[in-house]
């Protein structure tokens, strides 16, 4: 692991590995807890001086300085800088993948699909091997019985959010996208009530917007079901249930094939959980669709 971490994302992954015992570093319990608070609320680090920050994270200013130096920073100011630059980190994630496709692959057109199919199968295999029935049962229970369900995905992940929302609306009521086009996200977040379920899709590189929304949802005492790609995802810290579906593939952004298969499976399990009410709901939808066609 590089010391000091060169940006916020590397610091966040370092923290996750530290908490999982994958990295050994002599960080006391109080300092580790403070670092968790800082990473989960990066704006508090970016915007406050060391004295105010110390009060917020329950350790002394001297302890923050020692923690910063333990991580390889020259002091608090250098440590604080990566929090200030969190949203300014340039990303060439997709362009580098485009470059690899153009320069590093000269197979036949059909072989492109064969490679992508293999990647999708590997993603599904990883998901099935690393996800147990208990996690799936908890996810299904949340989708079936939460009073209201909101679904969010930013940029490419919005496609997954729409697919899940459509399928879930067919078998139960009170399901919608978090943040409609005619309203802002702040307005949508303000409508959340305690114990609402918010399903959030995100894969690397994780957008600051998505992570911030997950954090805000949790602070509002709502439940987060995270559909993400890795145990190192920042969504895991905010979710009551987190399901990891890899998105690796021979494509210039994330491969969503495994996510689509996951959504089909989890919706089928949710319909089974709902039982007769799911059948009735679909029948009602079919009657409405027939009426609309008859009157068109």
Q: Is residue 160 part of a domain?
A: yes
pLDDT at 222: 96
Task: Work out how many domains the chain is built from and give that number.
Answer: 2
Q: Is residue 3 part of a domain?
A: no
Q: Is residue 197 part of a domain?
A: yes
Do 70 and 26 touch, CB atoms closer than 8 A? Answer: yes
pLDDT at 90: 56
Within 8 A by CB and 6+ apart from 150, the residues are 175, 176, 177, 178, 188, 192, 196, 197, 198, 199
pLDDT at 88: 60
pLDDT at 109: 85
Q: Which of 105, 112, 157 is nearest to 262 (CA)?
A: 157
Domain C-terminal end among 88, 122, 152 = 88
CA distance 14 to 115: 32
Write down the pTM of the prediction.
0.79
pLDDT at 294: 55
pLDDT at 87: 61
CA distance 178 to 164: 12
Are 62 and 132 in a shared domain? no
Are 73 and 120 in a shared domain? no
Are 70 and 130 in a shared domain? no
The whole domain housing 80 covers 8-88
Do 5 and 17 touch, CB atoms closer than 8 A? Answer: no
CA distance 177 to 149: 8
Mapped onto helix, strand or coil, the DSSP state of residue 215 is helix
Are 80 and 115 in a shared domain? no
- Name the CA dihedral angle for 106, 108, 111, 112, rounded to a multiple of 10 degrees: 60
Are 133 and 210 in a shared domain? yes
Are 79 and 137 in a shared domain? no
- Chain segment 118-156, per-residue pLDDT in tens: 999 999 999 999 999 999 999 999 999 999 999 999 999
Q: Is residue 136 part of a domain?
A: yes
Are 52 and 115 in a shared domain? no
Are 64 and 199 in a shared domain? no
Q: Is residue 226 part of a domain?
A: yes
Domain C-terminal end among 88, 122, 151 = 88
Are 214 and 146 in a shared domain? yes
Q: Is residue 117 part of a domain?
A: yes
Q: Is residue 34 part of a domain?
A: yes
Q: What is the CATH number of the domain that holds 279?
A: 3.40.50.10490
HSE-CB at 191 with a 13 A cutoff on CA atoms is 15
Mapped onto helix, strand or coil, the DSSP state of residue 240 is coil
- Tens of each residue's pLDDT in the chain, 296 residues: 678 888 888 898 888 888 878 888 888 889 999 998 898 888 889 889 999 999 999 999 999 999 999 999 999 999 999 988 876 655 677 788 888 888 877 778 888 888 889 999 999 999 999 999 999 999 999 999 999 999 999 999 999 999 999 999 999 999 999 986 446 788 889 889 999 999 999 998 888 889 889 999 999 999 999 999 988 888 988 999 999 999 998 888 899 999 999 999 999 999 999 999 999 999 999 999 888 875 55
Are 126 and 255 in a shared domain? yes
Are 15 and 119 in a shared domain? no
Residue linked to tokens 């609306």 = 169
């Amino acid at each position: 692991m590089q010391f000091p971490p060169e940006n916020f994302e590397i610091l966040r992954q370092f923290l996750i590995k530290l908490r999982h015992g994958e990295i050994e570093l002599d960080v006391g319990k109080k300092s580790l807890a403070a670092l968790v608070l800082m990473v989960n609320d990066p704006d508090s680090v970016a915007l406050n001086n060391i004295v105010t920050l110390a009060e917020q994270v329950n350790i002394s200013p001297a302890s923050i300085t020692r923690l910063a130096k333990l991580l390889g920073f020259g002091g608090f100011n250098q440590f604080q800088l990566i929090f200030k630059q969190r949203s300014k980190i340039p990303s060439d994630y997709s362009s580098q993948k485009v470059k690899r496709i153009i320069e590093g692959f000269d197979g036949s057109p059909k072989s492109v699909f064969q490679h992508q199919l293999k990647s999708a199968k590997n993603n599904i295999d990883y998901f099935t091997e690393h996800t147990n029935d208990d996690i799936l049962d908890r996810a299904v229970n949340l989708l079936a019985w939460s009073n209201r369900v909101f679904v969010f995905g930013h940029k490419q992940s919005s496609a997954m959010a729409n697919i899940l929302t459509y399928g879930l609306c067919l078998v139960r009521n009170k399901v919608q996208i978090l943040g409609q086009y005619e309203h802002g996200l702040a307005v949508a977040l303000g409508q959340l009530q305690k114990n609402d379920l918010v399903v959030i899709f995100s894969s690397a590189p994780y957008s600051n917007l998505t992570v911030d929304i997950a954090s805000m949802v949790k602070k509002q005492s709502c439940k987060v079901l995270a559909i993400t790609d890795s145990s190192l995802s920042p969504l895991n810290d905010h979710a009551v249930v987190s399901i990891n579906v890899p998105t690796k593939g021979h494509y210039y952004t994330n491969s969503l094939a495994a996510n689509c298969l996951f959504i089909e499976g989890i919706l089928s399990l949710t319909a089974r959980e709902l039982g007769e009410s799911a059948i009735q709901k679909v029948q009602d939808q079919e009657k409405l669709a027939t009426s609309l066609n008859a009157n068109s």
